[in-house]
Structure 1
């Protein structure tokens, strides 16, 4: 897809219209706020605001909805870093080093690098969108069931390698997550599995309930168990300014992981959660400070934050070029786009070039606004850390329960939340890694369905799944490399010594 400079400049002019800038600001602000609230997420915000777009110009309505979408990518990490409570699935990886940085008195620095990394990822992905939208959409079409299955397998194997020294526990946590993903009606046979005659479970267990339980509720329970040993809330949250050393450590992480996030986002169904976790895993393996990851390493915040924001832009490519949503949020946006009278697909760039380029330019404007907004809010957000634990923890629990209720408006989810809060507490006490459980819960259902479809297509030839196409072969080799990476590193160290 060549760049039509006339359409590009017309799009820039439309994006700079005061009313459209206002929608960018409103959408970005709402997305940031919603991203901070556990369980709500951008999909809910976009769905709720669809009625507001009635009567709006299609371009303005689209700008508003997409601003909410990538604004939530910025906001989701705020509560991850400060409270160890991810706003949504894409913000999980921000807890790994963001929350330890907060406990180390570096919350200001963690929030700052999170905003800057999100800007870097967003801007990188926007330029990637401009240059590569058409060829990448064609590449995404090459992914069938077997390619998706091996991609998910690679992602899981990569995340288990995060558990260096605890790989057995990592595999156990992953197995638990895969079991959770099997709850509900089997999509191929319509058989009820592990629902215990509870109607609400027929649709499965929402992974956001699992996330809120094992992170927010478990963290509160763990802290209540150790309330007598807790130190007073930190009043010194560290400087918001990044040193030369911080820039040196993070710039390559952002540069490496933004393209990975963008490419993962292009794949329909992959999403920001997988992008962030995979980028965290790869950066931990590549970084000279890999052993310090999980203890408050600044690259551990920069890498996933750059990646998940890049993925949110990448997910718009299959949406606009093929009419295929890449995530739950883009599925909601797709419905709204069609309702607005626009027809996503290859001809959209031919028939509505000004609309596409207006959207692209609005994303550039929006990312710049959001980094300013998020850095400006840091001082206000840091006041959360000065709230006494006896007040703060009940507030976190209330947010967790309210966020959970909004997912399915069912009291049953409360019981599920409590169960996974206890499970998360047990895993924390037994020193089990949480990330493999969460990721396998998220991708388990899709992974199972793609595996079964692959078997049907290949006439039950398992080897065809792994070796049936160049993409499958590459991903299979990457999976093997990820699984044996710790052994390879130990071998190199022995040779050097």
Structure 2
């Protein structure tokens, strides 16, 4: 049980006063942005990445991770009380959670969401601690062709599972791949698409791209919108489910945790996909499906457990393989690169304190969320009274300060402004920007591993199909793409994302 000794060392790192304070800061910020619709963890992490330069890598990742899984908690609070999901993974929670609140069971709904989230987060943390070391050892035996095919599978899965049309998602991936080619070719030393600009020699800055695409683009897309925020009247009583509600909720928590833990591993999966899938399954297997939509405790327990389990397990491919399963994980990889940490299977051997400290902080963060969430319900709901004009102005100011601090130059600000226009255009066209970010992160890696494989095979491209593992991964990607193009699956996929 070597991983237990590593985990105890991780707890020693995580409970240091500095890291504990940053974990608390992360989950508090995550809860706050989970409450506020139109912000989300992607925007917040994009804003805060340049501000983590002064922190140790472990401390920075602990805080950024806390923002992500903290947002899953915060989104459920307003979904239940205000019928306004602050985070996409909490959309399904509105259906039965807000109905329970209108029926006088708001406290029970919040408690079910908190308990289910904590249990799922604990299981997700144990999965990372238990399976990540073995997955890292397996990954170390991968040949360059295997890595190439694995990343191709990741991009295909991101296309298939992205919301919106397949063609739009594929277009976003291609744009990301093209943006990733800007800069010096590491193999030949030749500048590519720099147009003679010295500022582009090192490639496009990840922080400027992320902040422009999500923060600036989000401001332009949402600044003129108004939101109907009907606050629930009256006090919240009975912050604990009764025996019948608990009996209905706990099997749903178990099933949601299991499903979310699996779906979180998939590229393009994570919290949102897990919550929708778990709700659909609970409704189908229920003996009383007519109760769903009318305040069924299982309709709150399952999606909340699933989205938190999905959020936690999505760290596994990011930490062990260096492959992001969603946009937030792409941000985390960007943060690691900024701190000169190469994501992949060697993280556990070269940066053991970082890996195990991050894993231990996840359990501590989930415990902190349970402790602080329920007593501060009134504070979180009051956040919804903040006018959007003030909110977005603050985001803009902090973003520009962070961008300028990267190189003490205004170049990053102008670059982010350009990507902000791109982000706005993407939003107006109904495209999801996360696949673009995945393409930008994985594109250079795909190129590197493809070239290594071709060099080792002396230019023979058949190496990608003659290597057994590489062939299986490519066939899986091809099968996944072919299946989603079938009329029935394509129609069902469009219905699911239309509901979302």
> What range describes the TM-score normalised by the shorter chain of this pair?
0.5 to 0.7
Match status 1:217 vs 2:213 = no
Cα drift, residue 384 of structure 1: 3.2
Report the equivalent of 1:269: none
Cα distance, 1:157–1:367 mapped onto 2, change above 3 Å? same
Aligned ranges 1:389-408 → 2 under 5 Å: 389-408=388-407
Cα drift, residue 139 of structure 1: 0.9
1:15-43: CA deviations, max 9, x gaps?
A: 599x9474553231133367664435579
Q: Secondary structure at the match of 1:26?
A: helix
Cα drift, residue 99 of structure 1: 7.8
Equivalent residue in structure 2 for 1:279, among 252, 270, 288: 270
Report the equivalent of 1:478: 476
Q: Which runs of 5+ in 2 are unaligned?
A: 34-43, 79-85, 282-298, 323-331, 342-346, 493-500
Report the equivalent of 1:207: 206
1:391-429: CA deviations, max 9, x gaps?
A: 223223223323433444431121122112211222222
Counterpart CA distance in 2 for 1:232 and 1:150 is: 46
Report the equivalent of 1:31: 26
Report the equivalent of 1:309: 312
Counterpart CA distance in 1 for 2:356 and 2:426 is: 47
Counterpart CA distance in 2 for 1:360 and 1:43 is: 23
Q: Please say which of residues 429-438 and 231-240 is displaced more in the overlay.
A: 231-240
Counterpart CA distance in 1 for 2:412 and 2:449 is: 27
Counterpart CA distance in 1 for 2:400 and 2:433 is: 20
Report the equivalent of 1:490: 488
Cα distance, 1:376–1:312 mapped onto 2, change above 3 Å? farther
Cα distance, 1:28–1:247 mapped onto 2, change above 3 Å? same
1:82-134: CA deviations, max 9, x gaps?
A: 99xxxxxxxxxx9545589899997x999999977774565234433554455
TM-score calculated relative to the size of structure 2: 0.66
Q: Secondary structure at the match of 2:270?
A: helix
Cα distance, 1:317–1:122 mapped onto 2, change above 3 Å? farther
Aligned ranges 1:453-468 → 2 under 5 Å: 453-468=452-467
Cα drift, residue 479 of structure 1: 0.8
Question: Is the 1:82–1:385 Cα contact (8 Å) retained in structure 2?
Answer: no
Cα distance, 1:158–1:50 mapped onto 2, change above 3 Å? closer
Q: Please say which of residues 437-446 and 64-73 is displaced more in the overlay.
A: 64-73
Q: Please say which of residues 169-178 and 74-83 is displaced more in the overlay.
A: 74-83
Q: Secondary structure at the match of 2:142?
A: coil
Counterpart CA distance in 2 for 1:76 and 1:206 is: 26
1:208-257: CA deviations, max 9, x gaps?
A: 43333233222322234x45xx3455545999999889887775443233
Cα root mean square deviation, aligned: 5.2
Report the equivalent of 2:40: none
Cα distance, 1:127–1:79 mapped onto 2, change above 3 Å? closer
Counterpart CA distance in 1 for 2:75 and 2:335 is: 20
Aligned ranges 1:57-206 → 2 under 5 Å: 67-68=62-63, 70-75=65-70, 96-98=88-90, 119-120=118-119, 122-128=121-127, 130-132=129-131, 134-163=133-162, 166-206=165-205
TM-score calculated relative to the size of structure 1: 0.66
Counterpart CA distance in 2 for 1:289 and 1:308 is: 19
Equivalent residue in structure 2 for 1:254, among 232, 252, 257: 257
Cα drift, residue 468 of structure 1: 0.7
